[in-house]
Structure 1
Amino acid sequence: MASLPPLEPTISQLDALSVESLIYEKQRLENSIFHLVRSNEDMKEFDENDKEFQLAIKENEDLIAR
């Protein structure tokens, strides 16, 4: 399944955001990454040879890298 490239905000869009909005977004992204990493660890611990888990882990890793 092909994924779409992430949307890249422009400098002017980023400048328009408040500090509070940026802090909130940073925390939201950190929380999402934490849960993706934990999910990968859980799947590897449960059955690292499961093909569906391997695909999900790869998708999570690709998402984290973005």
Structure 2
Amino acid sequence: MRDRLTKADPETTLGESESEYRFDSLPMRLMGQLMPRVFHKQSQQHMQDFKAFAEQGKDVREGRN
């Protein structure tokens, strides 16, 4: 996983995330091939959680509202 934060302008930061998944077991390899959206959705949720923390100070451990 590689994350980058770059300053777009004085008020804005651009966040980019790059992920590569490697599976050791056959069941996980099959799941990765058959359901790639599950992994994309989870990565998207992590980025949204980080954004909420960075912009609002929200602790994602508090639960989802």
TM over 0.5: no
Greater per-residue strand proportion: 2
Tell me the TM-score normalised to structure 2 length.
0.41
Greater per-residue helix proportion: 1
Tell me the TM-score normalised to structure 1 length.
0.40
Structure with more contact order per residue of length (Cα contacts < 8 Å, sep ≥ 6): 1
